């Protein structure tokens, strides 16, 4: 189990994190969300042992995670970190990058394991290619496979699918999280993408103003986001009489006490996203059809 206890951190005088406490059980995934600069990457680096911790503690089972002042080499065998900058060997093939940390004394096992991981990240046909000739998304997949190669007990992921195109993203995400579950690997994932959280994370924390302001299951946080900041992570929303409503929770009706004026409609796939003005504020709602700017309509709220 990962335990973060009352963790605070500053880069010289710039305080970034204050009094963070949370746990992640074996095989569970925790998503960390927060605005850019809220300290998500810093938190992952602290858990990894990249910095010395002056206040608070991080533990994996009964091992305390310590920084460079205590470890000649940063990191621990049981933990892998896929950072935003992937540290790959550019002039070496994809398969050699993945197999780098696997024992060459068991060539059959090494080959089997490398092939298994090439499959997980859907890079079988790139096995022999040099990493320098890969796209950003392909490199990110190699970095993910390499992190999994030595079967870590815990995996830290910083924006793991940010470079991967939408064609591949969903199937890759399913494949990675399924692998983590089957192998009971714990995971802490810092992300801006709601799709990394909904459907995959067991718990999520929201970092805001240096602290954990919300900690709960993704489902409960989605259903009751509490803060506009949290709602904005999941999609367009409106605040009406102090309550937060997602765009699909406002419905156009024949007549009601809420009257608004359309500013713009945006094609959204299944529906149109309508931006409108209500009580001098912008609201957003989903509608089946496009509505012309300046049209007036009535709407009701549904929870």
Residues within the interface to ligand ATP (CB under 6 A) = 11, 14, 16, 34, 36-42
Q: What is the DSSP string of 166-200?
A: HHHHHHHHHHHHHHHHHTT-EEEEE-S-HHHHTTT
Minimum Å distance from CB 12 to ligand ATP?
7
How many CB atoms sit inside 10 A of residue 53's CB? 19
| Spatial distance between the Cα atoms of 5 and 234, rounded to a whole number of angstroms | 28
In the complex, least distance from residue 9 CB atom to ligand ATP, rounded to whole angstroms: 9
Lookup: tokens for 145: 């496979």
- Nearer to ligand ATP by Cβ, of 11 and 106: the residue is 11
Question: For residues 159 and 286, which CB has a smaller minimum distance to ligand ATP in the complex?
Answer: 159
Closest distance of CB 14 from ligand ATP, Å: 6
The closest of 242, 246, 249, 251 to 231, measured between CA atoms, is 246
Pick the closer one to ligand ATP by CB: 38 or 97: 38
CA distance 190 to 287: 32
Q: Are strands 55-60 and 2-11 parallel, antiparallel or unpaired?
A: antiparallel
Region for 220 from its dihedrals, namely left if φ exceeds 0, alpha if ψ lies in -120 to 50, beta otherwise: alpha
Count of C-beta atoms within a 10 Å radius of residue 255:
8
Would you say 230 or 260 has its CB closer to ligand ATP?
230
Closest separation in Å from C-beta 215 to ligand ATP: 17
Least distance from C-beta 159 to ligand ATP, angstroms?
7
Q: Which is nearer to ligand ATP, 39 or 160 (CB)?
A: 39
Nearer to ligand ATP, 43 or 102 (CB): 43
Q: How far is the CB of 34 from ligand ATP (least distance, A)?
A: 5
**Shortest gap between Cβ of 163 and ligand ATP (angstroms)?**
14
- Residue 231 backbone zone (phi > 0: left; psi -120 to 50: alpha; other: beta): alpha
CB nearer to ligand ATP: pick between 47 and 131: 47
Supply the angle between the helices 136-149 and 107-120 in degrees, to the nearest 10. 130
């Amino acid at each position: 189990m990962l335990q973060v206890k009352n963790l605070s951190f500053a880069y010289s005088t710039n305080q970034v994190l204050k009094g963070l406490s949370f746990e992640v059980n074996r095989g569970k995934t925790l998503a960390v969300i927060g605005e850019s600069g809220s300290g998500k990457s810093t938190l992952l680096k602290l858990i990894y042992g990249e910095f010395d911790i002056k206040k608070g503690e991080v533990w994996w089972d009964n091992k305390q995670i310590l920084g460079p002042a205590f470890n000649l080499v940063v990191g621990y065998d049981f933990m892998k970190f896929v950072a935003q900058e992937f540290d790959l060997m550019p002039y070496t093939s994809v398969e050699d990058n993945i197999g780098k940390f696997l024992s060459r004394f068991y060539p059959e096992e090494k080959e089997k394991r490398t092939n298994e991981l090439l499959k997980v990240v859907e890079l079988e046909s790139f096995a022999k290619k040099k990493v320098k000739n890969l796209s950003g998304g392909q490199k990110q997949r190699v970095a993910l496979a390499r992190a999994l190669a030595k079967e870590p007990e815990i995996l830290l992921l910083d924006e793991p699918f940010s470079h991967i195109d939408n064609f591949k993203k969903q199937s890759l995400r399913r494949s990675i999280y399924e692998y983590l579950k089957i192998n009971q690997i714990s995971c802490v994932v810092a992300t801006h993408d709601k799709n990394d959280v909904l459907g995959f994370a067991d718990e999520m924390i929201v970092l805001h103003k240096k602290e954990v302001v919300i900690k709960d299951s993704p489902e409960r946080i989605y259903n009751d986001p509490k803060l506009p900041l949290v709602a904005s992570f999941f999609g367009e929303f409106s605040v009406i009489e102090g309550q937060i409503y997602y765009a699909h929770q406002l419905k156009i009706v024949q007549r009601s006490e809420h009257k608004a004026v359309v500013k713009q409609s945006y094609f959204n796939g299944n529906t149109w996203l309508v931006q409108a003005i209500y009580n001098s504020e912008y609201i957003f709602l989903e509608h089946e059809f496009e509505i012309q700017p300046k049209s007036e309509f009535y709407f009701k709220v549904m929870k």
